[in-house]
Amino acid sequence: DVVMTQSPLSLPVTLGQPASISCRSSQSLVYSDGNTYLNWFQQRPGQSPRRLIYKVSNRDSGVPDRFSGSGSGTDFTLKISRVEAEDVGVYYCMQGTHWPVTFGQGTKVEIK
Amino acid sequence: QVQLQESGPGLVKPSETLSLTCTVSGGSISSYYWSWIRQPPGKGLEWIGYIYYSGSTNYNPSLKSRVTISVDTSKNQFSLKLSSVTAADTAVYYCARHDYDILTGPGVWGQGTLVTVSS
């Protein structure tokens, strides 16, 4: 299975400040169709996961533009330009290129 | 707006079969892929498997020998069966819909249902 490694696992952030989460895969996530299927999910406390970003950098409908995704190959980043209180939760990267689909361990974002 | 609701027993005995159903409302089960994903308490996410509305399936190899996912288009439902459960199968089980394709992950999730395996 492809191993997804996130860092840091815990991220205390001051409101209004930026935050960055890294996700690295044990294999390239470039699919045979040329796309890279690296997706990001947010799980707020007590809620179901919610997809924020698909195919590295495409924001889902309704996702604030302070969230952005970037990266290529095996190295990816989720950035929050200015953290708001509603951003508290656990963030997971997920690769869909190789079966079985696998998730990172999660990064817990909290307010300092 | 499509909504997903998991249902089934919250407590299952070891060695028995866990059975859950996901009811889709506000939309048709046709023309989409549907998944089951689980999350042990305080831990991360694990993909169990998915089914296309036509009935084709794909399971996580780590669970494949114990998993069956099926669909009932007439009831707008799909189901999960996991046999020979142990305490390690205790988790919140989510059903989910893929609005683009399997590879981009689910865009719509149910609220999840906690299943505890215990005698």
What is d(CA A1, CA A16) in angstroms, rounded to the nearest whole number?
Answer: 37
The reply to whether residue B44 touches residue A103, judged by beta carbons under 8 angstroms, is: yes
Q: Would you give the end-to-end CA distance of chain A in angstroms?
A: 35
Nearest CA in chain A to B61: A100
Distance CA B41, CA B46 (A): 12
pLDDT at residue A30, as a whole number: 98
Helix (H, G, I), strand (E, B), or coil: what is residue B5?
strand
In the structure, how many helices (H) and strands (E) does chain A have? 0, 11
Among A29, A33, A48, A60, most B C-beta atoms within 10 A, so best to mutate, is A48
In the predicted model, residues of chain B with pLDDT beneath 50 are none
**Are the beta carbons of B35 and B25 closer than 8 angstroms?**
no
Q: Is A39 on the interface with B (CB under 8 A)?
A: yes
Digit-coded pLDDT (tens) for A53-79: 999 999 999 999 999 999 999 999 999
Please indicate if any CB of chain B lies within 8 Å of the CB of A37.
yes
Sheet holding A19-25, edge to edge: A4-7, A19-25, A75-80, A67-72
**Residue B100 CB neighbours (<10 A):** 15
CB contact under 8 A, B104 and A54: yes
* Best B5, B56, B103 residue to mutate vs chain A (most A CBs within 10 Å): B103
Task: Report the distance separating Cα B74 and Cα B52, nearest Å.
Answer: 15
Dist CA B90 CA A71 (whole Å): 35
**What pLDDT score was predicted for residue B100?**
82
For position B36, what pLDDT does the model report? 98
Q: What is the share, in percent, of chain B residues with pLDDT greater than 70?
A: 100
Residue B1, classified by CB atoms within 10 Å of its CB into exposed (0-12), middle (13-18) or buried (19+), is exposed
Placement of tokens 């007590």 in the chain: A46
Candidates B100, B102, B110; nearest CB to A48: B110
The residue among A14, A70, A67 whose CA lies nearest residue A38 is A70
Helix, strand, or coil here: A7?
Answer: strand
Low-confidence residues of chain A: pLDDT under 50: none
pLDDT of residue B83: 98
